[in-house]
Structure 1
C-alpha cells in the first residue's frame, strides 16, 4: 500500500451484528475499510460446526458479509439460506457451511472469505482475527473458569478477566491493516464476547499499542443482556486499554456524554439511533458521525 493511501484506511474491530452494522455504515468507503472479526463464537449453527470440524467460528464473518450485500442476487440468496425441518441440517446457515467447505479444501480462511466477497461483490475487506480455532475463557472473581462465549454470556456478573485458549497467532493481514490505519474503531456490539476477543491476541495487542491511528470506541445504544450490562463505561474503556498495552482510547462516540468517565476522554455526542429501533444504530447517522471524526483529523 503506498503512502498516499496509507493514512486513509479505517479499521473496525468486533463481531456479530455490531461490527456488521458498522461496516455497512462505512460501505461507501469500499476497500478503504477493513473489518477484523471475532472468531470465538460457539453458539448456534457456528457452534455445531465447530464441534465437529475443529475450525474457526464463521458466524460473525457471515453476518458481516450479509450486512454488506447491497444488491441481492442468486449468490446472496444461497449464502444467506438457512435450513429448516427435522434433519441434522435444521438451523444451519448455508453460508457457514460454504466457508467451512472452502476451509476443508485447504484454502486459507482469509482466502475463503475473499472468494465469497468476490461472489457477493463486497469490496470491504473482512479479516478473521485468527485463522486458528480458539475458545474464549473467563475467570470469575471466585476463581471459577468458564469456557465458551455462550456460557460467558450467561454469567450473572462480569468476570475478573478474559483469555483465549489456546493462544493462537493473529492473521498477519490484520496486523498490517492496523499498522496502515488512520482510524481504528472498537464496537459497537457485545463487549465481552465480540469486542474483546481480538484484543486478547498478543500481536493485535502490540499493533494497537503502536499504531499511529486514532482509536475510537463506539458505545451501544442500550444496555446489553449479558454480564457487561453491569460494567460502567469507565470500566469498559479501561479493559480495552489494558488489552492494548496501556494505549489510550482517543475518542468515545455515543448518544450522549457519560459523566462518569474521566475528562481525559474526548466525547462526541450524536443521535445515532434508528427511528424504527432505538437500540440499533442508524447506518446513515453512524456513517456521518465517522466522516466528521475523520474530517476533524485532517
Structure 2
C-alpha cells in the first residue's frame, strides 16, 4: 500500500500542468507545491461574480479572483505578505467586500502590464515558486446555448441555470496565453479539476489554441472528480458524462485516468483507468485533503506509466 509520503512518481515528473479555477485548482496547487517550478497552473478567467465581477463591471479586464485564490493557497505557511494580499475590506462603503489582492492585480493591469507578467510580479512578492498562468491575457466571458437555442452570457448566469446547456462558448473570441499553450505542450502529466465543471474547467478547454495543444500532447491526462454534488446544472452529469464532455469539446479522447471518491460502476468509465479513494479533508469534508490527493495523483501516474 502506498504511504502518504511516497511521492516517487510525482518527483520524477519534470513538468506537470493543472487546469481549473477557484478553490479546486488552489487545492491541487497547494497539494503539489513541493514540485515548485515543475508545477504550472492554468486558471480560468471568466468569473463575473463577487468582488471580481464588481471590478469587471466597473473597469473591465480579466477575472482576477481565481488567480489570487490559487496564489495564496500555494503558500503552506501564511506570511504577512500573503495576509495583505488576501485582505478583504469590511464595512458598507464602495470598498466593502473587495479583496485587496484583486485590486492590486487590477491596478497592474491598468498600468498596461500583461496579466501573465502581473502574476509573475506577485509570485515574486509572495515567494511562490510554482507558475500560475491566466487562460488568456484578454478579457473574456463564458456563455451557454440552451436546448431552446437561447444564448446566455456570464459565468454566474451559467452556474444559475436550472437545466444543462447544450454547449458552452466564449465571448469574445480571444487567444490563449502563449505561455499556457507552451506549458501544455511541455507537460508530462495534465490534471483537470476538481472544481465547478462548467465554469472552472470547461472555459479553458474552449480556447482553440488550448484544444490544439491538448490534441497533440503526449501527456497523461487525469480528471479529478469533485467530492460532493455541485449546486449547478452539471450536478446531473455522471463522471462518465463529464469525461465525454471534455473529449467531445476537444474533439479527441484525451482523458486517460480519473480519480474519484465515489464507488461507481467501472463499466460507466471503461474508457479510462479509475482510481477510487477517500479524499475528504477532516476539517471541511467537501474539500480534498492535500496529502490524500497528492498520494492519489502519485498512484494514478504510476498506474498510467
Partner of 1:285 in structure 2?
Answer: 292
Compute the displacement of 1:276 (Å).
Answer: 2.5
Matches within 5 A, 1:210-249: 210-249=216-255
Partner of 1:115 in structure 2?
Answer: 121
Compute the displacement of 1:273 (Å).
Answer: 1.0
**Contact 1:41 / 1:149 at 8 angstroms: preserved in 2?**
yes
Tell me the distance in 1 between the aligned counterparts of 2:303 and 2:285. Answer: 27
SS at match of 1:243: helix
Partner of 1:267 in structure 2?
Answer: 274
Tell me the distance in 2 between the aligned counterparts of 1:256 and 1:225. Answer: 18
Summarize deviations over 1:83-131 as a string: whole Å, max 9, x none. Answer: 1112111100000000011111111101110111111111110000000
Compute the displacement of 1:171 (Å).
Answer: 0.2
Tell me the distance in 2 between the aligned counterparts of 1:37 and 1:196. Answer: 11
Given the two structures, how large is their TM-score scaled by the length of structure 1?
0.95
Residue 109 to residue 208, structure 1, CA distance change in 2 (3 Å): same
- 4+ residue runs of structure 1 moved beyond 4 angstroms? none
Tell me the distance in 2 between the aligned counterparts of 1:231 and 1:285. Answer: 25
Compute the displacement of 1:248 (Å).
Answer: 2.8
SS at match of 1:261: helix
Query: Which of residues 151, 154, 164 in structure 2 aligns to 1:148?
Result: 154
Matches within 5 A, 1:82-97: 82-97=88-103
Tell me the distance in 1 between the aligned counterparts of 2:12 and 2:294. Answer: 21
Gaps of 5+ in 2: 1-10
Partner of 2:6 in structure 1?
Answer: none
Tell me the distance in 2 between the aligned counterparts of 1:98 and 1:286. Answer: 31
Query: Which of residues 54, 61, 64 in structure 2 aligns to 1:48?
Result: 54
Tell me the distance in 2 between the aligned counterparts of 1:25 and 1:291. Answer: 11
- Please say which of residues 267-276 and 59-68 is displaced more in the overlay: 267-276
Alignment RMSD, CA only? 1.5
Compute the displacement of 1:256 (Å).
Answer: 3.5
Tell me the distance in 1 between the aligned counterparts of 2:156 and 2:239. Answer: 23
Matches within 5 A, 1:1-298: 8-259=14-265, 261-298=268-305
**Contact 1:135 / 1:165 at 8 angstroms: preserved in 2?**
yes
Partner of 2:5 in structure 1?
Answer: none
- Please say which of residues 230-239 and 129-138 is displaced more in the overlay: 230-239
Residue 114 to residue 167, structure 1, CA distance change in 2 (3 Å): same
Tell me the distance in 2 between the aligned counterparts of 1:159 and 1:136. Answer: 12
For this pair of structures, how many residues does the alignment match?
294
Given the two structures, how large is their TM-score scaled by the length of structure 2?
0.93
